[in-house]
Amino acid sequence: MDHMRSYKLGVLAGDGIGREIIEATTAVLEAAAKKKEVKIEWVPLPMGFKAIEKNEQPMPESTITALTGCDGWLLGPHDSASYPERYKAIRNPSGELRHRFDLYANIRPAKSSPFVEGLVQDADLIIYRENTEGFYVDRNMYQGVGEWMVTTDVAVTAGVFTRQAIERIAHAAFQKARTRRKKVTIVHKANVIRLGTGLFLRVCQEVAKEYPDVEVDDYHIDAMCAHLVRRIHDFDIVVTENMFGDILSDLTGELVGSLGLAPSINANDTYAMAQAAHGSAPDIANQDIANPMGMLQSAVMLLDWLGERHDDVNLGAMSASIEEAVSKTLSQGVRTRDLGGEAGTREFAQAIIKSL
């Protein structure tokens, strides 16, 4: 398409360093949008402590309603561990949005950069994590929570695995593999959790038959952790259940540089939510030292997702220009403290904007 299209993006700054990294991210996106003839309408919405103060809920219904009218949104980190006790029995803000919007695919790339010192080299993989069930008890039930105290000394936790959920994350993974190196690795624990992750493995293998051009292998979760450390460059697309995907993506994020830089999006066929993998880091909040790269790279993923969904080449060009500007900025030695530099959050964002 060759005419300017407008996109409405929700902005949920959240807690801790959330406001700082969200402001840096939206400033970069706004500058890139102007150069690539894309119009963005920002929709600021309350979430986290500010929402508790204003709406008495960390994720108000008014915020969720407003998000249904957005094309996607940026979710800052939340500090739910510090919320008042009465809010700890409910889903945290990101879990609530994943559940309410059925954002079944948590997509987490890990790619080596020549400008970031990692523990491994030549990594370029994407983890497709099933995002709605498995052993995550805050979202694997239609109503209630999937764990119980049988007595004061006995806890029971349920894992849920359904064909429908496995099929859709498997198709998403295989479709992406066709655009890359055409290889999918299924991660499971079918030798022990034979019914649950056994179903996950079996259904993924059934889906694989629809993609005969894609190479498929599989590993137990414990072996996969070892393989990633030793030979991460051999893997392209990894598909796995919820908890395993969370653990593996934290591992790969750290291996290529830092979990603090790791991006992700949570998506279904209609909505996508950009969310950095890191937490709210309240110990460095409001000091202008947080690195916004995780949030910014998540926003780039959101742009790519929107570009594919709306067949908008301008969004693809916009995301590519931001990635190029980030690399140029890092190559010039402009870095935040966590990467050995001196730049603050705002200064780093302005350097990226200048590089655009």
Span 156-172, pLDDT tens digits: 999 999 999 999 999 99
Please identify, in words, the CATH class of the domain defined by 119-123+133-255. Answer: alpha beta
Structural contact between residues 278 and 284, judged by C-beta atoms closer than 8 angstroms: no
pLDDT-flagged residues of the chain (< 50)? 1
From 62, 50, 40, select the one nearest 14 (Cα to Cα).
50
Residues with active-site annotation: 136, 189, 222, 246, 250
Residue 1 pLDDT: 42
Residue 140 pLDDT: 87
Contacts for 90 with CB less than 8 Å, ≥ 6 apart: 96
Angle at 264 between CA 261 and CA 268, to 5 degrees: 175
* DSSP 3-state of 60: coil
From 48, 38, 53, 40, select the one nearest 4 (Cα to Cα).
38
Report phi then psi at 106, rounded to 5: -100, 110
From 178, 175, 163, select the one nearest 130 (Cα to Cα).
163
Give counts: helices (H), strands (E), the chain: 11, 12
Question: What is the DSSP track for 170-214?
Answer: HHHHHHHHTTTTSEEEEEE-TTTSTTHHHHHHHHHHHHHTT-TTS
Residue 31 pLDDT: 97
DSSP state of 50: H
From CA 42, how far away is CA 305, in angstroms rounded? 18
Output the CA torsion 192→195→201→206 (10° steps). 150
Residue 57 pLDDT: 94
Pinpoint the residues of the chain covered by CATH 3.40.718.10: 1-113+256-356, 119-123+133-255
Options 3.40.50.1370, 1.10.150.120, 3.40.718.10, 3.40.228.10; CATH of 1-113+256-356: 3.40.718.10
Q: In what order do the strands lie in the sheet with 124-130?
A: 39-44, 6-12, 72-75, 272-274, 265-267, 105-111, 124-130, 237-240, 183-188, 215-220
pTM of the model: 0.94
Residue 3 pLDDT: 62
Residue 182 pLDDT: 98
